[in-house]
Chain A
Amino acid sequence: AQTVTQSQPEMSVQEAETVTLSCTYDTSESDYYLFWYKQPPSRQMILVIRQEAYKQQNATENRFSVNFQKAAKSFSLKISDSQLGDAAMYFCAYRSNPNTGNQFYFGTGTSLTVIP
């Protein structure tokens, strides 16, 4: 089975600064999808960004961008100009090729604190 590792249980960042959350994964597959989800204290999981493994270009969504290193099996999330509303638990997730079903594998999460 695929595994997803988030080695930073907690991170903090000053408001308006940049922070990078790390994620590594283990797989023998070549076609897959990677995601970052955010879970604020309200508990609703929200999609932040997604990356298809076949795409070399790193995904970007406004202040959120990823550094996808396929060979290194690394998928980090960079949050620029951090805002108080970014405070949440962030989960990295892996999904196999859709032909094999829709099972997601989640990391253990990184709790991000934003300091005013």
Chain B
Amino acid sequence: KAGVTQTPRYLIKTRGQQVTLSCSPISGHRSVSWYQQTPGQGLQFLFEYFSETQRNKGNFPGRFSGRQFSNSRSEMNVSTLELGDSALYLCASSSEGRGTQYFGPGTRLLVL
């Protein structure tokens, strides 16, 4: 099976802009989670989607949002970008039951 894919891999934006990141899970996985990774804060959970519904949400401002489509692909959107949003954004998918999350390569976002 193909692994989790994320696009784009690298992105440069300026403050105030918005960005959309995409994640395609492993075939058959219905759960997609998003994480923000920074040197200072480590891995922080953003949200999880399952069957097109947000099932869990981390402690991030409303500028961070997401959605999941019927084919389980997920998008994450960040509006009004701030310098502090510069990070590696990781997507992970899992099937129900076994619960192991498999991660994509990440999207590295740089906000100037």
Kindly identify, within residues 65 to 103 of chain A, every residue whose CB is under 8 Å from any CB belonging to chain B.
Answer: 91, 93, 95, 98, 101-103
Residues of chain B at interface, number, CB under 8 A: 26
Interface of B is mostly: strand
Contact of A45 among B50, B90, B99 (CB under 8 A): B90
Count, A-B residue pairs, CB within 8 A:
60
Contact surface of A with B, Cβ cutoff 8 Å: 33, 35, 37, 42-47, 50, 91, 93, 95, 98, 101-109
Instruction: Pull 15 A–B residue pairs with CB atoms less than 8 Å apart, ordered by A.
Output: A44-B105, A45-B92, A46-B103, A98-B99, A101-B50, A102-B33, A102-B48, A102-B50, A102-B94, A102-B101, A103-B33, A103-B48, A104-B33, A104-B101, A108-B42
Contact surface of B with A, Cβ cutoff 8 Å: 31, 33, 35, 42-43, 45, 48, 50, 55-56, 58, 88, 90, 92, 94, 96-97, 99-106, 108
